[in-house]
Amino acid sequence: MGNYSMKIIIFFFLSTFLLQAQERLTVVKDSSGLSENAIRKKAEAADKKVKRILDIQDVIAATDSKGKVDLAKLEAKWEKLSPTPKKYDWVQTKSGEWFRGNIKALYDDRLEFDSKEIGLYTFKLADVAQIKSYHLMRVNIENLASIKGILRLKGEKLTIIQGENKYDFAKKQIVSFARDANAERNLWSGKASIGLDMRSGNSDQQDFTANLKLQRRSSESHLALSYLGRVSSKEKVEISNDHRFNEKYDIFLSRNFFWTPLFSELYIDKFKNIDAQITAGVGVGYTLLDTSKTRWSFSGGPAFVYTRHATVDTATQKTAFSPALEASTQYKYKINTMTKLTYDYKLTYTTREAGVYKHHMVLVLQNSLLSWLDFDISGIWDYVKSPTAASDGAIPLQNDFQMIMGFGVAF
């Protein structure tokens, strides 16, 4: 890890630049003093104005040369008119179907929507024809502004109604949006998966695994928290006990570019002689590919690793504080409407005291059973190039493989 001081200087220079870039995003505040209900009434008035124009045009289109109105044609036209939001947000797909519920967030061109009829569901933005929000949304417009208001999306045009003003943008300019942070719980979502395998007879063995993911999405940032743990015993003797806590906080600078003011991990594995290992750092990231089926992103940056071993020989220090470089990638592919594939890979290059080189790889095949219930098959590969020997001289294996099958509940 030579020349690490130069890397730190480069890192602080880059961090300063990114902070300045983030500050260029103008926050458009509402100075009208209007209440939320008053703003909604303005949005409803605009909706009714459009509806009246459509009504007149439809009547004219359904009237023949003798002045007779074809009611069947008029009824078909009226069926296409959009509803007025009352307590709920509305989303229309390009197939013409309307859905009533609550918008959670739009992130990576995917709209997370919660409805009593379909549960928690994710629409691809490319499949959405209209959005009419009842709730105030904070919208991040690429390289321009963050604006709070009532949202209207029709075709390729986005309108944000804020106080006495209306702002129009192209659909392609949207980076993200989410419910205004006044209702903090609306910004959070998550998924919990649990696996339990118990065997008795010729041999007694119990395996327990847990995988928890939480995320907070706002129009400007994304916070991801996760836990992956395993405890196993055979013939009442513990054979595995490892836990991994991860945190990553991203701030959007544009549709594809983001920076990470903090990523961190706490890793515990007594069978690898790791009493506790803490990694913390900062980085930048870029979304290389983002389509309706595929998303591929990269991120990474400098970090520090603190390691405390469970036991060591007399020639080895029990604790070590090491500089590091970390890189990660995430690949998501939607195989069909029911099945998704996710690949996460994280690599850390550090000093001999912390293992020299390690990686954590997770491959997940997610099968949707219900809108809120999945059956997941996960493959995990952990590798450490130079594990630290215990006090008895035993050296942990470099590779550790794991397969998990379990049910996941989204919330």
Q: Is 189 within 8 Å of 411 (Cβ atoms)?
A: yes
**Model pLDDT, residue 120:** 77
In three state form, how does the secondary structure of 280-317 look? EEEEEEEEEEECCCEEEEEEEEEEEEEEEECCCCCCCC
pLDDT band at 394 (very low <50, low <70, confident <90, very high): confident
Residue with the two structure tokens 């390289």: 143
Beta strands in 116-172 (DSSP E): 119-124, 128-132, 137-141, 145-154, 157-162, 165-170
* pTM score of the predicted model: 0.68
Residue 78 lies in a domain: yes
Residue 9 confidence (pLDDT): 46
Q: Domain for residue 61, yes or no?
A: yes
E-strand stretches of 218-273:
221-234, 237-252, 257-269
Write out the H or E segment, with its range, that includes residue 16: helix 4-23
Give the residue, 181 or 295, on which the prediction is more confident: 295
Query: Is the model's pLDDT at 37 over the cut of 70?
Result: yes
- In a shared domain, residues 256 and 372: yes
pLDDT band at 1 (very low <50, low <70, confident <90, very high): very low
Whether 199 is in a domain gets the answer yes
- Of 157, 182, 207, the residue at which a domain comes to its end is 182
Query: Does residue 238 carry a pLDDT above 60?
Result: yes
Task: Assess if residue 10 is contained within a domain.
Answer: no
The whole-number pLDDT of residue 23 equals: 47
pLDDT 10s digits, 159-175 = 999 888 889 999 988 88
pLDDT of residue 12: 46
- How many alpha carbons fall within 13 Å on the CB side of residue 61? 13
Q: Does residue 61 surpass a pLDDT of 80?
A: no
What letter would DSSP give residue 270? Answer: G
* Domain match, 177 and 98 both: yes
Domain boundary among 116, 149, 182: 182
CATH code of residue 212: 2.40.160.40
Pick 194 or 30 by higher pLDDT. Answer: 194
Q: Domain tally for the chain?
A: 2
CB 197, CB 223: distance < 8 Å: no
In this structure, the answer to whether residues 249 and 327 fall within a common structural domain is: yes
Asked whether the predicted pLDDT for residue 78 surpasses 90, the reply is: no
Q: Check whether residue 167 and residue 264 sit in a common domain.
A: no
Answer yes or no: do 177 and 43 share one domain: yes
Residues 143 and 219 grouped into a single domain: no
Same domain for 219 and 177: no
Q: Clarify whether residues 84 and 156 are in a common domain.
A: yes
Give pLDDT, residue 276. 93
The 10s digit of each residue's pLDDT in 317-360 is 888 889 999 999 999 998 988 899 999 999 999 988 788 889 99
Could you say which of 142, 157, 182 is where a domain stops? 182
Please indicate, yes or no, if residue 4 is contained in any of the structural domains: no
pLDDT of res. 62 = 60
Q: Do residue 123 and residue 205 come from a single domain? A: no
In a domain, 329, yes or no: yes
pLDDT at position 2 is 45
178 strand-pairing partners = 105, 138
The residue segments making up the domain with residue 80 are 31-182
Q: Quick check: is 15 in a domain?
A: no
Residues 173 and 197 placed together within one structural domain of the fold: no
Is the pLDDT at 192 greater than 90, yes or no?
yes
Same domain, yes or no: 155 and 133: yes
72 and 199 housed in the same domain: no
Q: Report the Cα 14 to chain-centroid distance in Å.
A: 25
Tell me if 3 is assigned to some domain.
no
Summarize pLDDT for 259-284 with one digit per residue, the tens. Answer: 999 999 999 998 888 999 999 999 99
DSSP state of 163: T
Per-residue b or e along 330-358, where b marks 16 or more CB atoms closer than 10 Å to that residue's CB: bbbebeeeeebebebbbbbbbbebbbeeb
Q: Which residue has the tokens 């065997």?
A: 199
Percent of the chain with pLDDT over 70: 82
* Confidence at residue 130, expressed as pLDDT on a 0 to 100 scale: 93
Could you write out the DSSP letters of every residue in 90-118? EEEETTS-EEEEEEEEEETTEEEEEETTT
Arithmetic mean of pLDDT over the chain: 82
Q: Which pairs count as long-range contacts for 6-9, CB under 8 Å and 24+ apart, including other chains?
A: 7/302, 7/323, 7/325, 8/302
| Between 269 and 64, residue with greater pLDDT | 269
pLDDT the model gives residue 229: 94
- Rounded CA separation 104/353 (Å): 44
Residue 53 pLDDT: 52
Is pLDDT of 396 > 90? no
